[in-house]
Amino acid sequence: MRILLTNDDGINAPGLYVLEKIAAQLSDDIWICAPSEEQSGAGHSLTLGRPVRMREHAPKRFSVTGTPTDSVTLGIKKAMPGPPDLILSGVNRGANLGDDVTYSGTVSAAMEGALAGIRSIALSQVYAGEGHGNNVSFSAAEEWGAKVLRPLLDAPFAPRTLVNVNFPPVAAADVKGIRVVRQGFHDYARGSVVEGMDPRGFPYYWFGLHGIEQTPGHRTDLEAIAEGYISVTPLQLDLTHDASLAEMASRFEA
């Protein structure tokens, strides 16, 4: 089984090394293609306005001067001798839960894999507390990663679907188990905006992720994480709200 690894925190991200350890338990044919710089919040963006460079750091290990989506595309089409059997994106430093998934470079890299018809799974390690982003424990992800992935390796994945996995912010021994749950939602999709003044006296704004209210709904990813479980959520790229189709169409009938 040939596996492509990527990560939106960059080619040197600690979570990518954790993912390498997880993937090594599943296969010995591991390829890496990840952005050269952190791309958290890049979503599903594709670099169109400038050229992208790919650098080979070591055999099977590449960085790309672009987004996570660019990395998956170049990984499949240029770095590897053929398409992988599996794409793993992560382990992200921080949660990708509820409606945050569309901001996520980690989840979007898996979306790109799903679009290419390849089994794709995003993995994220939730951490607790503000200001600790540089000192995140990946204990739960490292210990449980292969256990979560193995049953998914031969599970049927519908076309244009992917799986989003989040590990709770507890030590591996305190993880309560694994729950397959639906995507939850935040009470409102706003983080903090910090306002400051630059050295030349011009104002700037800096988006943060803190202060997003959430009410963990029943049987959602947010609830599973809040209760100390690993969340496993199948996602689809078709965002159509089927229940609205008929009513909306009726408004356009002559």
Distance in Å, CB of 131 to Mn ion, minimum: 16
99, containing H or E segment: none
Residue type, 22: I
- The least distance separating Mn ion from the CB of residue 198, rounded to whole angstroms, comes to 25
Minimum CB separation of residue 224 from Mn ion in Å reads 20
Phi, psi (deg, nearest 5) at residue 172: -50, -40
Q: How far is the CB of 246 from Mn ion (least distance, A)?
A: 39
Closest CB to Mn ion among 8 and 112? 8
Pairing, β 2-6 against β 29-35? parallel
Tokens representing 233?
């959520």
* Closer Cβ to Mn ion, 180 or 209, answer by number: 209
Shortest distance, CB of residue 68 to Mn ion, whole angstroms?
9
What would the DSSP string read from start to end of 194-244? EEEE-TTS-EEEEE--TT--B---TTBHHHHHHTTEEEEEEEES----HHH
Place of tokens 């244009």: 160
Q: Which is nearer to Mn ion, 40 or 166 (CB)?
A: 40
Q: Are 166 and 96 in contact (CB under 8 A)?
A: yes
Of 38 and 85, nearer to Mn ion (C-beta) is: 38
User: What's 88's DSSP letter?
Assistant: E
Nearer Cβ to Mn ion (192/215): 192
243, β-bridge pairs: none
Nearest distance in Å: CB 174, Mn ion: 24
**Which tokens sit at 145?**
């990663």
Minimal CB distance to Mn ion: which residue? 40
Binding site for Mn ion (CB under 5 A): 8-9, 40, 92
**Radius of gyration, alpha carbons of the chain:** 19
- Looking at the Cβ atoms of 16 and 30, the one nearer to Mn ion is 16
